Structure 1
C-alpha cells in the first residue's frame, strides 16, 4: 500500500498544490474541469483517521485527496483566462488528428482504419471523441507521461504494435532478431507511457503487453522499476 502512495505522491500533485501553484481557488479549478479545460484528477486517495485519548474519547474522519497529472499546471495557466471554452477542444482535436495522420505507423492504430483507404472525417471524429472523453476523465494522466495529443497517438500505436508482437511470439522462445525488435518496441512504449501505480500495473497495458513478455524472455532488466 505504501508503495502506491509513494508512486502517486512522486508523480502527481494534489488539488491544493495545483491551486496554490496556479493561483486559483478550488471552485475555479472545478469550473475549468466542468468546462473540459482541465482533466479530472487521475487518482483519488481516501484515508480514514481515528484519534483516541486516555479520556476514553475518539474522533474519526475520512480524508479524500485528489491527485492531478503535473501537466495540469500548464493547462490551468493556459486556460484559466480562456473566454471561448470551445477553442481548447478544437485545438486539441486538430493536433491529435494531425499527429495521427502524420505518424509513419498509423496503419496499426484504431482497428487499422488507415489500411484500406483514408478514413472519412466522421470516423476520425468518432475516434477523437472517444479519446477526448478518456483524456477529460483523467485516464491519460495515468497512462501517458504528459497527456499530450502526440503522446496519446504514440501510445495507441505502441500498444497495438506490442499486442501484435505478443500474438506472434508470446508462446515461443525469441530469436536474437526478435529480441532486438522487442527491445525497440519497449523503448517506443517507454517514450510516452507512465509506469502505472503498483496496484494497477499487472492489469495495465504495461503489465499485460510488455512486462510479461520481457520477463518470459530473460529481459527483466528492461522492466521499469519503481
Structure 2
C-alpha cells in the first residue's frame, strides 16, 4: 500500500489537488465527466479501515481518486468547449504528433482508430500508461508500441539487421520518455516491461 501511494502522489494529481488547481467543485468535475468533456480518474482507491489518535479510534470508509498531471490543462479547456469541439481538438493534436513522428521516420499508425483512442482517453486509461496524460504522449505511445511490435514481430525474431536495430533503439528510447513508470502492481504486465525493458534486454544489449 505504501509503495502504491508513494507512486500515485509522485506521478499523479489527487482529485483535491486537481480541483484546487482548476478552481472547480467536485460537482462541476462530475458534470464535465458525464458530458464526455473530461476523463474519469485513472486510479480509484476504495478505503475502509480505522484511524487512531488521541481522540480514540474511528472507522473510515471512502474512495480516493488520482488523475494524470496534464488533466489540469485539459479541464481548463473543457470549461470553454463542448464535447464535439474537445474531440476535434484531441484529434488535431493526435494527428499532428503522428505527422511529426512520420517526418522523423518513426510513425506507425496505432492499432486502434481515433474513436477508440478517444474512448480510452475519457475512461482515464492514458493516465495509467503515459507519463503525464498529454495527447501527444498518447499518440507517441501507441505508435511506438506498434512500431516495436512490427520490427520484432512481438519479440519472435531472433535478431535484426543493423538498420532495423537503429530504428528499434529510437522507438524504444522515445517510448521510454512518454510512457508511465506504472504502479508497482502493474509493472510486470505493462507495455513498459514488454516493449522497453524486454526489448532492451533481448535486442539492444541493455538491462531493464
TM above 0.5, yes or no, is yes
Structure 2 match to 1:114: none
Query: How many angstroms does 1:164 deviate by?
Result: 2.3
| C-alpha distance 171-45 of structure 1, shift in aligned 2 (>3 A) | same
TM-score, reference length from structure 1: 0.76
Counterpart Cα distance in 2 of 1:160 and 1:15: 32
Structure 1 match to 2:23: 23
**Residue pair 2:99, 2:107 contacting (<8 A) in 1 also:** no
| C-alpha distance 61-182 of structure 1, shift in aligned 2 (>3 A) | same
Deviates more, 1:160-169 or 1:34-43: 160-169
| C-alpha distance 159-83 of structure 1, shift in aligned 2 (>3 A) | closer
Structure 2 match to 1:32: 32
Match of 2:179 among 187, 190, 193: 193
| C-alpha distance 168-3 of structure 1, shift in aligned 2 (>3 A) | closer
**Residue pair 2:69, 2:133 contacting (<8 A) in 1 also:** no
2:50 maps to 1:50: yes
Deviates more, 1:210-219 or 1:94-103: 94-103
The higher radius of gyration belongs to 1
Counterpart Cα distance in 1 of 2:163 and 2:88: 43
Cα root mean square deviation, aligned? 3.1
2:136 maps to 1:150: yes
How many residue pairs are counted as aligned between the two chains?
205
| C-alpha distance 4-171 of structure 1, shift in aligned 2 (>3 A) | farther
Alignment gaps of 5+ in structure 2: none
2:75 maps to 1:76: yes
Match of 1:133 among 119, 125, 129: 119
Structure 1 match to 2:85: 87
TM-score, reference length from structure 2: 0.81
Counterpart Cα distance in 1 of 2:98 and 2:121: 16
Structure 2 match to 1:118: none
| C-alpha distance 205-47 of structure 1, shift in aligned 2 (>3 A) | same
